[in-house]
Amino acid sequence: MPTDELNDPVLYSWLVTVAGVLLMVAVVVYLVWAVRSTRARPEDQPPPLLPLTPGYGGDRYASVRPVYLARVDEVEHRFRTGDLDARGLHLELSAVVRDFATVRRGVDARVLTLSDLRRIGGAKRLASLIESYYRPAFARSGATEASPEHALDGARRVIRNW
């Protein structure tokens, strides 16, 4: 190609520069969003450890039992007023007894599977109770014959006696 036929380079349009800058901004916004959305939130944290003071008979958990029994009462009230259906009742009770187990054992029981719960020393009643909550908690809405009274009594019994 002869040298007298060479042309100057063609400049890109200013739109290519704007598109490049917008793409870089979009990547930065996505990375910030990804980091913030995957960080632990306060509501994802295990329940705070309440001070354990020996109560009657040397029960180290006498000070925390009333807190969790009150939570069971609150769940019952929400169920009786129609705020929760049977499925919601079992899900909420499962959360309450798992929070109690977290305080009781110092392990975040909210993330443990049923087989993990069975391996916790002395937690057979807890594992059985959680297992009884599974069917109503994961059933379709209104498709359960589980007894709410049985579920509430089981939660109270585990919190009082374990």
Q: What pLDDT digit, counting tens, does each position of 9-29 carry? A: 788 888 999 999 999 999 999
Q: What angle do CA 78, 48, 32 make, to 5 degrees?
A: 95
Q: What percent of the chain has pLDDT over 70?
A: 82
Rounded distance between C-alpha atoms, residue 133 and residue 92, angstroms? 10
Enter the tokens of residue 60: 């180290």
Q: What pLDDT band is residue 121 in, cutting at 50, 70 and 90?
A: confident
Q: What pLDDT band is residue 49 in, cutting at 50, 70 and 90?
A: low
pTM (2 d.p.): 0.63
Nearest in space to 133 (alpha carbons), one of 92, 90, 98, 87: 90
Q: What is the pLDDT of residues 56-81, one digit of tens each?
A: 566 778 888 899 999 999 999 999 99
